[in-house]
């Protein structure tokens, strides 16, 4: 009987963990941080796979990386090709980056090399938690800046995990953002590429970046600061900024309102974090309260996550949001509700905040 009871307890614990993960309770300590090894390339060429040929970083020269499908890990692209701009890495400006001369597919215009398509630029396999949301990101900068030329053929970088494509970043966007007339042109400007990924049944993630464009001129770039982080949210309580209900202890605040006015205040979470705004405006004899959240914030998935109380005179004493008269069920990042016009409002919001990824 003891063995049966113990087995039932173990099964219940495992089932609870799986259900919690499926429901989006992202509390796994193993994934709180960047899972990518050698994410900033300070470890040189270790911990990742590639189909590109390695150039020793000590072998500097004006044509050292002239051949296609080569790479090195170093501090300045210009040290390896006279047509590449001199610039620093994304992490510190003085550290390492992965410097790439992209593969060039036979048949492409001006292509010298006889290379196959879909060669891996960078790939790494890491352990992940099943049924967990992740974000994958990296930073990319174009390097080609030969005199009298302009990188009209930047890479199209496709990211996949376990063979499933997350998306393709067309680096022409960098050229568009930094046109020729800009003081520094397009080369050397770091841009972040970011994707969401849900692990499902997987407990490992094989992440691969390839170049779908594969051109000779202009298809030269650098990668840095590659991250895979779980999406971890922390519960927070928010109040529309104003005067405190009580001088000490509870930091809850209420907002003064003049008849017919439109005003906007900050929505503070945890007393000091700027989570968004709360706007008040006349609407058909009432006051429309609109809550708009900043990036990285969202309404907690809970019933009556917005609670509002109106007052004819300034309130005092600790508030009881559960007893507030006006309540709503907000989703996403914006919510509006109409309440009676009055002189003061307490606006309480249940929130979750995305915890930033740390290396």
Which residues neighbour 25 within 8 Å (Cβ) at sequence distance 6 or greater? none
At 308-323, the pLDDT tens digits run 999 999 999 999 999 9
Residue with tokens 């409002």, as numbered in its chain: 345
- Residue 187 CA to residue 217 CA, distance in Å, equals 13
Average pLDDT over residues 88-102: 97
pTM for this model (two decimals): 0.73
C-beta separation of 242 from 311 below 8 A: no
Residue spans in the chain of domains classed CATH 2.60.120.260: 28-230
- Residue 32 CA to residue 90 CA, distance in Å, equals 22
At 145-181, the pLDDT tens digits run 865 555 567 899 999 999 999 999 999 998 888 875 6
What share of the chain has pLDDT > 90, as a percent? 70
β strands within 131-212, DSSP E: 133-142, 156-161, 164-170, 191-198, 204-211
C-beta separation of 318 from 252 below 8 A: yes
SS3 343: coil
C-beta separation of 77 from 141 below 8 A: no
Is residue 119's pLDDT more than 80?
A: yes
Q: How confident is the model at residue 116 (pLDDT cuts 50, 70, 90)?
A: low
Q: How confident is the model at residue 217 (pLDDT cuts 50, 70, 90)?
A: confident
Report which of residues 114 and 33 the model is more confident about: 33
pLDDT winner (highest mean) among 22-26, 303-307, 350-354: 303-307
Superfamily of domain 28-230: Galactose-binding domain-like (2.60.120.260)
Lowest mean pLDDT among 109-118, 274-283, 340-349: 109-118
C-beta separation of 214 from 158 below 8 A: no
Look at residues 221, 232, 56 and name the one whose alpha carbon lies nearest to residue 154: 221
Q: How confident is the model at residue 115 (pLDDT cuts 50, 70, 90)?
A: low
């Amino acid at each position: 009987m003891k063995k049966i009871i113990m087995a039932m307890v173990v099964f219940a614990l495992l089932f609870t963990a799986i259900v919690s993960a499926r429901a989006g309770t992202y509390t796994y300590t193993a994934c709180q941080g960047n899972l990518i090894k050698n994410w900033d390339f300070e470890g040189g060429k270790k911990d990742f796979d590639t189909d590109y040929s390695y150039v020793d970083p000590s072998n500097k020269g004006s044509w050292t990386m002239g051949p296609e499908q080569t790479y090195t890990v170093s501090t300045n692209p210009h040290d390896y090709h006279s047509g590449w701009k001199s610039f620093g890495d994304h992490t510190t400006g003085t550290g390492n980056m992965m410097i790439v001369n992209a593969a060039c597919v036979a048949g492409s215009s001006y292509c010298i090399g006889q290379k196959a398509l879909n060669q891996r630029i960078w790939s790494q396999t890491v352990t992940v938690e099943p049924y967990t949301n992740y974000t994958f990101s990296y930073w990319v900068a174009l390097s080609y800046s030969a005199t009298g030329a302009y990188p009209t053929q930047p890479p199209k970088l496709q990211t996949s995990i376990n063979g499933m494509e997350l998306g393709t970043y067309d680096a022409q966007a960098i050229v568009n953002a930094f046109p020729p007339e800009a003081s520094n042109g397009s080369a050397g400007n770091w841009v972040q590429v970011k994707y969401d990924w849900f692990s499902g049944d997987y407990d490992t993630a094989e992440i691969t970046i390839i170049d779908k464009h594969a051109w000779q001129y202009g298809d030269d770039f650098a990668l840095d600061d590659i991250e895979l982080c779980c999406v971890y949210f922390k519960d927070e309580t928010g109040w529309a900024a104003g005067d405190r209900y009580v001088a000490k202890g509870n930091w809850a605040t209420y907002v003064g309102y003049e008849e017919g006015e439109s005003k906007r205040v900050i929505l503070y979470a945890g007393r000091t974090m700027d989570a968004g705004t709360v706007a008040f405006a006349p609407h058909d004899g009432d006051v429309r309260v609109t809550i708009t959240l900043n990036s990285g914030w969202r309404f907690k998935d809970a019933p009556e996550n917005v609670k509002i109380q109106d007052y004819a005179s300034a309130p005092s004493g600790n508030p009881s949001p559960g007893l507030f008269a006006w309540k709503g069920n907000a989703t996403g990042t914006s919510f509006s509700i109409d309440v009676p016009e009055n002189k003061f409002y307490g606006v309480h919001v249940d929130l979750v905040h995305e915890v930033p990824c740390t290396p």
